[in-house]
Amino acid sequence: MSRTGTPSGSRRIPALVFVLAAIIGLSAVAFMVYGPVEQTKASVRPSVAAKSEPDPDAVALASPGRIEGQSDLIEVGAGLDGIIQTIDVKEGQRVQRDDVLARLDCRDLQSALPVARAEAESLQQVHDRLLLGSRKEEREAAAQRVVAAKAVLTQAKRQKERLRGLAETEAISKSSYDEASRDGDVAEAEYQRALRNEQLVNAGPLAEEVAKANADLLAAKERITFAEEKLGKCEVRAPISGTVLRVMLHPGESFALVAPRPVLTLVDLSGRRVKAEVDEKDVGKIHVGQKVVAFADAFSGQRFSGKVTKLAVVMGRKSVLTGDPADKQDRDVLEVTAQLESAAQILPVGLRATVLFRP
């Protein structure tokens, strides 16, 4: 007990009560000033908005690919077998459609073409002569023979009539009358022959003769066309406007239609595309118009944007090998072509790249 006789615990009770009262009072003041803490719509709006905005750096899929030109790589060859005579372009040279790229040695065809043309010209003259018919001089000569034969026939008939009366009075022998009758028959026959000859000279050609002449002339012209087309195949022309990538054959080497090696390769380098190989399990994540980003180890730190323009309609085997031993080579893949931006012009054709597909 204390000196005053009051227990020590009794002093602590008022102090504790005072502290609790102070805490309750401060809480009441805070409630009156700030009110209850509620999660309002305004408070959650920023977090909801952040979740709805797409992440520009998000990636749905990454696939290996290879850089291409604006067109597929074209292996250009000749239209017939032969020996390369000249190569008229160089690697890296820009060419236009139908430009001559190379020539074959076709001297045998060059000599055969004039022969075919001469034969056709000869048959053309025969054809025209047939349709023209007989010459004017031949028709005039035939008409004159008819006149002469008719005059002989008229004279023979008169002579026969005169001798008939004399034969009836027995002034001449019967043999003289028979001779005059025979001359009349001969004159009649000569006249008929002259008439038929005149008709033949003035008549047009037979349909069968015209048909044969037309067929011969057409065949000769077809031989000329065939020779010209074959000679034209001796020139190797550019199928598109583009750039020569590789010259595979040189003068003196032979080209064969069954050989796997072309004369040269050509591609349109006016733009760049990337052809990615998407694994079969990821095909459903790709669609035309999807944005892509391509990059290559050789151009560190540079990324090239693009857009999917084409999906293959059939699955195929891998052709872009990454060199990773763990990468399976027997999987089926789908070729996906994407057009890249103009800045991708610096990328060489055939460069391996990684293609990132955006969601």
CATH top-level class for 74-104+235-265? mainly beta
**What is the model's pLDDT at position 34?**
47
Looking at per-residue pLDDT, the higher value among 354 and 326 belongs to 354
> pLDDT confidence of 138, banded at 50, 70, 90?
confident
Distance (Å, whole) CA 246 – CA 257: 19
Asked if 337 and 307 touch (Cβ cutoff 8 Å), the reply is no
Average the pLDDT over 318-333 and give the result.
Answer: 70
- Provide the mean pLDDT of the chain: 83
> pLDDT confidence of 136, banded at 50, 70, 90?
confident
Looking at per-residue pLDDT, the higher value among 9 and 87 belongs to 87
Average the pLDDT over 266-277 and give the result.
Answer: 94
Q: Which of 59-63, 166-170, 281-285, 307-311 has the lowest mean pLDDT?
A: 166-170
39 has a pLDDT exceeding 50: no
4 has a pLDDT exceeding 70: no
Looking at per-residue pLDDT, the higher value among 174 and 322 belongs to 174
338 has a pLDDT exceeding 90: yes
Beta-carbon neighbour count of residue 255 at 10 Å? Answer: 21
pTM: 0.58
Average the pLDDT over 138-147 and give the result.
Answer: 88
Q: Which of 1-5, 14-18, 22-26, 42-46 has the lowest mean pLDDT?
A: 42-46
CATH top-level class for 61-70+271-357? mainly beta
**What is the model's pLDDT at position 13?**
54
Distance (Å, whole) CA 225 – CA 229: 6
Looking at per-residue pLDDT, the higher value among 214 and 38 belongs to 214
SS (H, E, C) the chain: CCCCCCCCHHHHHHHHHHHHHHHHHHHHHHHHHHCCCCCCHHHHHHHHHHHHCCCCCCCCEEEEEEEEECCCCEEECCCCCEEEEEECCCCCCEECCCCEEEEECCHHHHHHHHHHHHHHHHHHHHHHHHHHCCCHHHHHHHHHHHHHHHHHHHHHHHHHHHHHHHHHCCCCCHHHHHHHHHHHHHHHHHHHHHHHHHHHHHCCCCHHHHHHHHHHHHHHHHHHHHHHHHHHCCEEECCCCEEEEEECCCCCCEECCCCCCCCEEEECCCCEEEEEEEEHHHHHHCCCCCEEEEECHHHCCCCEEEEEEEECCCCEECCCCCCCCCCCCCCEEEEEEEEECHHHHHCCCCCEEEEEECC
> pLDDT confidence of 40, banded at 50, 70, 90?
very low
Query: Nearest-CA neighbor of 91 among 220, 310, 304, 243?
Result: 243
> pLDDT confidence of 43, banded at 50, 70, 90?
very low
Sequence spans of domains, the chain: 1-53, 61-70+271-357, 74-104+235-265, 114-228
Q: Which of 73-77, 130-134, 324-328, 337-341 has the lowest mean pLDDT?
A: 324-328
